[in-house]
Amino acid sequence: MDLYIHCEETKHVLVILSVLISASYGQAVEVKGGPACDITQREDTLTVNCSRRDIDSIPTWPEQINNIEQVHDVVITFFNNSISFVTELGSVPGSHVAISFKSNAIDNIDEDAFSNVPRMLYLDLSNNLITGEVLRSEIFHGPYKNDVYDSIALETLNLGFNQIHSLDRYLFQYTPNLTRLYLNNNPIELLDHVTVLALSSAVNLEVLDLSKTDIDTIPLDAFRGLLNLQHIDLSDNRFTTVPESLSLVGSTLKYLTFNKNPIVKLDDDSFIGLNNLIELEVAENDYLEEVTRSTFSPLRNLRILHLCHNENLRYISHNAFRGLKDKWTLKEIYLDDNNLSELSPDLMPWNKLEILGMTGNNWLCNCDLANIITTQGAGSKFKPSEIPYCAAPMKLAGSLITNITVSFCPAFDKTFTSNRGFSLGNLSPRHVIWSILGVAFIALIGMMLGMLVKGIKTVYVKRIKNQSIRYVNLKEDAINA
């Protein structure tokens, strides 16, 4: 799942992305013998559209590009061509430049490829054949001045869907403004020492996508120095626990996506240190079975929780949000498409939610669920088209859970006040009679047992006293012998 761009990001990046998308999928009429790319200008945005032109090399910009005035944003797209080698690009006007080489066959990049476009903010190299050996710090340097290479303004770098196993430790030497890095769908498997050094050198990184990279651990020092990291995607990997190393960026991390991992249980160690997390997504984890006590307790600022599409999730502890109920911050909770049948009424303060999702589960419509839906008002938090159904008991199967009531549940008189002392006046006559009969019966049984024991003792003593005693003279017996 692609990372989405948050509202905190700069307005010019949104403008560039929108133009990139429209240019990448727009159809242009190819004129025989004409230019390889279409050049259009709308207000202060210049678009150079070279998409779907079956070109295999970088064309030379027409002279009129440098003659265009009052250009702020420049968008250049080579989407879906046959380019294998990115050679040096010519200079272009504008203060914000975005370039896309998405979906080509790139396996090599010239070390001076972007030296003439130092104001390039956005570069998309995704869906190519790029390896770690191809990616060198030299390809991102700016113009050569005063015996040194300048940096470039690059903020967003998309390297997804390539053949990258490792990153050069100095890769981001000339990109000090890099804030968004996408490494998704690369066969990284292991974050080795040089890759960790490369990542930790991008000190202004805010968004990092490591989804579908086949990693199962993240070294503790991988995020050291990333004091601005706000969003990380670890989906579709081989994690059996939530990486402990995330706690190093717990003071800044706001969005965590942790889908499609072979994790079995979430517990009180899973999110420790992530105090400022705003949104958490734990979905499509096929092996996840339970959420235990205090799992979400460290998430004191959480607003949105996606705990959904986990087909084997059958248990959520009633203390999963322990310590958060008095200072409740959650507004949206999605529990859709799990294997849940019951929830505890005291799991959370249900009436404080704004949106609740519970569809796609096997709900047992019992007294606890009636309490949650009716008494605590959770039934009003569902979206109109997403109201769950009862799966049991049989008489309620298929009914909307908002239709169940507490009428079939035991009701207790809350006006009852217990007596401070006890007296016979608290007992009904029937209770008194049964109590007397019970005491009498026990006394009768005791008397009968006593008489029986006494009789046995008397018979035994009489038999012992009446038995004759035979005396033997040892001397006479010896003479007769």
> Model confidence at 29, in pLDDT bands (50, 70, 90)?
very low
Query: Which pLDDT score is estimated for 17?
Result: 45
Whether pLDDT at 102 is above 80: yes
Domains of the chain: 1-187 (3.80.10.10)
Is the predicted pLDDT of residue 33 greater than 50, yes or no?
no
pLDDT of amino acid 416: 39
Is residue 107 pLDDT above 70, yes or no? yes
pLDDT at position 141, please? 94
Can you give the pTM of this predicted structure? 0.79
For tokens 């001397």, name the residue.
475
Residue 21 confidence (pLDDT) above 90: no
| Contacting residues for 207 by C-beta, under 8 A, at least 6 apart | 3, 5, 179, 180, 181, 182, 229, 230, 231, 232
Confidence class of residue 381 from pLDDT cuts 50, 70 and 90? very high
Mean pLDDT for the stretch of residues 356-363 = 98
3-state secondary structure the chain: CCCCCCCCCCHHHHHHHHHHHHHHHCCCCCCCCCCCCEEEEECCEEEEECCCCCCCCCCCCCCHHHHCCCCCEEEEECCCCCCCEECCCCCCCCCEEEEECCCCCCCEECCCCCCCCCCEEEEECCCCCCECCCCCHHHHCCCEECCEECCCCCCEEECCCCECCCCCCCCCCCCCCCCEEECCCCCCCCCCHHHHHHHHHCCCCCEEECCCCCCCCCCCCCCCCCCCCCEEECCCCCCCCCCHHHHHHCCCCCEEECCCCCCCEECCCCCCCCCCCCEEECCCCCCCCEECCCCCCCCCCCCEEECCCCCCCCEECCCCCCCCHHHCCCCEEECCCCCCCCCCCCCCCHHHCCEEECCCCCEECCHHHHHHHHHCCHHHHCCCCCCCEEEECHHHCCCEHHHCCCCCCCCCCCCCCCCCCCCHHHCCHHHHHHHHHHHHHHHHHHHHHHHHHHHHHHHHHHHHHHCCCCCCCHHHHHHHC
Per-residue pLDDT, 10: 41
Per-residue confidence at 4, pLDDT binned at 50, 70, 90? very low
> Tokens representing 462?
């009489």
- pLDDT-derived band at 382 (thresholds 50, 70, 90) equals very high
Please give the residue that has the higher pLDDT: either 401 or 433.
401
pLDDT digits (tens, 9 = 90+) for 136-154: 999 999 998 888 999 999 9
Is the pLDDT at 25 greater than 70? The verdict is no
The pLDDT of residue 317 is: 98
Contact 182, 3 (CB under 8 A): yes
**What is the pLDDT, as a whole number, of residue 87?**
95
| pLDDT(113) > 70 | yes
Q: Judging by beta carbons within 10 Å of its beta carbon (0-12, 13-18, 19+), is residue 287 exposed, middle or buried?
A: middle
- Residues 212 and 126: their CA atoms lie apart, in Å, by 14
CA distances from residue 105 to 21, 38, 93, 130, 275 in whole angstroms, order as listed: 20, 22, 27, 8, 43
Distance CA 214, CA 383 (A): 36
Banded model confidence at residue 2, pLDDT cuts 50, 70, 90: very low
The pLDDT mean for the chain works out to 86
Q: By CB neighbour count within 10 A (0-12 exposed, 13-18 middle, 19+ buried), where does 131 fall? A: middle
Distance (Å, whole) CA 398 – CA 390: 5
pLDDT at 312 over 90: yes
Burial class of residue 345 in the structure, from the number of CB atoms within 10 Å of its CB (0-12 exposed, 13-18 middle, 19+ buried):
middle
Place of tokens 């159904």: 389
User: How would you classify the pairing of strands 207-209 and 355-357?
Assistant: unpaired
Confidence (pLDDT) at 3: 39
| pLDDT score of 274 | 97
Q: Return the pLDDT at 68.
A: 75
pLDDT, residue 427, reads 53
Q: Which two tokens stand for residue 247?
A: 């706690």
Task: Report the C-alpha gap between 375 and 368 in whole angstroms.
Answer: 10
pLDDT of residue 452: 81
pLDDT band at 342 (very low <50, low <70, confident <90, very high): very high
What is the amino acid identity at position 26?
G
Provide the pLDDT for residue 22: 46
Instruction: State pLDDT tens for residues 191-211.
Output: 999 999 999 999 999 999 999
pLDDT at residue 135 tops 90:
yes
